[in-house]
A and B are shown apart, each in its own frame.
Chain A
Amino acid sequence: MDWTALTLSIRLGLLTVVLLLPIAFLVARWLAFGRFRGRGFVEALVALPLILPPTVLGYYLLVAFGRASPLGQAFEAVLGHPLVFSFEGLLLASLLVNLPFAVQPMQNALAAIPPNLRDAARCCGLSPLAAIRRVELPLALPGIATAAVLTFAHTLGEFGVVLMVGGSIPGETRTVAIAIYDRVQAFDEASAGVMALVLLTLSLVALGVTNTLARRMAHRH
């Protein structure tokens, strides 16, 4: 069992959830309530990581954030080290691949809020910010929780992108999914088996929690 890899994965998962959820909430709100041209295109863009091969995303990240690119050079000037093959690079990749897992549950939850409730909030003189805090956030909570659980579980399991932009550096980019791959190559089936079981359990629990939340949300309406 590679504890460094497991704690690294958990750290990556938690940071992804913390950083992604606020951004994704705003995107979800925009998609749920906004009426604008090109919404279908934005929705497709958000959902893209669901079907895009992770290696394709990894390839573009290498191209976009590699040493040769202006973006990569800018990051290197700020961070003091290149973005690829670093924890920060993994985090950025993780934010991108998890976009649909964070946006879609929240978008569904927000879209399910009866319009008259939001109208009532406006009529009662609630400012938009207060309406978000007192009406939308509480009603969308199951969606937000689902988004958090899915994002966390999916980050733990991400492999293709991490393989391409991570480089399997212990304590830095060797996540538990990569560690399983490494351990199998080292004929260490015992460690690989334990870590695989941990990921299997976490994924099952995550799906159990999301299904429970979804049922609760369905009950309420």
Chain B
Amino acid sequence: MRRRAAIPRLLHGGAATLALIAASVASGQPSPRVAHTPPAPLIAAAADLKFALDEIIVQFGRDTGESVRVTYGSSGNLARQIAQGAPYEMFLSADEQYVQWLAARHLTRGPGELYAIGRIALFAPHDSPLRPDPRLSHLARRLSDGTAGRLAIANPEHAPYGRAAEQALRSLGLWEAARPHLVLGENVAQAAQFAASGNSDGGLIAHSLALAPELRRRGSYALIPDSLHEPLRQRMVLLVGASPTAERFYEYLRAPAGRGILAGYGLTLPGE
């Protein structure tokens, strides 16, 4: 009988704990949909912007007192999610074709505008046997003598930076040799993480990520000539239903404050 009484007691204890957690969750974190102040607008951004945009958002908060929420991913995946109704108010794509694709579906506010021409870089961690050089000659040698390890790139199917990496390898006649060595990141930030973690020889990643302190600390890189791949025309656009805060963030990215931070990550426009 005593054992039987212990179970309800244990359950009551558990229920009380759960209720406590529930109360703290309910009070501490009201659902964005029922909050009185409108929630910070959601922004979908290409993964090459991971560190640059984080910095801009902090600066935007300091300058205006407003905040935005951001989700990073491959431009192709983000565009698909937007088309399927994901509640984003602004989209920063690494490839303008995705913006044009959404514009054709009347999901954007106008055509948006270019914010940068992206570049790719060969990154290798400090302890990697691979030495980065602009024309990938050391990689080519390692591929031909069979000593090459893994090479990380973003998935070319839906990540613009992966596509650029594939084009550069093809331009240099290395694609077929490199293929068995490739590890594919879902987006270019994951490819950078694969490249820098020491689990691969390195990777072809966004120049903007190679310039981030987190990667600089871990290795070195060589900028790949932009003649080896199609230009990465990065376009941003406000989506239908964008709030005034999203509009102000869009303008902030065009203003000197935003442009300056982007330039620090190698994200510039011709003539800048």
Interface residues of A (CB under 8 A from B): 3-4, 7-8, 10-11, 14, 62, 66-67, 76, 81-82, 84-87, 138, 141-142, 145, 149, 167-172, 174, 182, 184-187, 209, 213, 216, 219-220
Contact = CB atoms under 8 A, between A and B. Distances in A.
Nearest to A82: B85
A108 to B, nearest CB: 16
A76 B84 CA distance: 11
Interface of B: 3-4, 6-8, 10-11, 14, 18, 21-22, 25-26, 28-29, 31-33, 39, 42, 47, 50-51, 69-73, 81, 83-87, 187, 189-190, 192-193, 196, 214-215, 218
B86 A67 contact: no
Contacts of B7: 141-142, 145, 213, 216
Dominant SS at the B interface?
A: helix
A100 to B, nearest CB: 21
A67 B82 CA distance: 11
Contacts of B193: 184-185, 187
Dominant SS at the A interface?
A: helix
Contacts of B14: 145, 149, 209
Nearest to B4: A220
Contacts of B71: 167-170, 174
A185 B189 contact: yes
Given A85-B85, A220-B3, A168 B73 contact: yes
B190 A185 contact: yes
B216 to A, nearest CB: 11
A87 B31 contact: yes
A86 B33 CA distance: 10
Contacts of B42: 169-170, 172
B25 A7 contact: yes
A164 to B, nearest CB: 10
B87 A169 contact: yes
Nearest to A12: B25
Contacts of A7: 25, 28-29
Nearest to B35: A171
Contacts of A216: 3, 6-7
A174 to B, nearest CB: 7
B245 to A, nearest CB: 15
A35 to B, nearest CB: 29
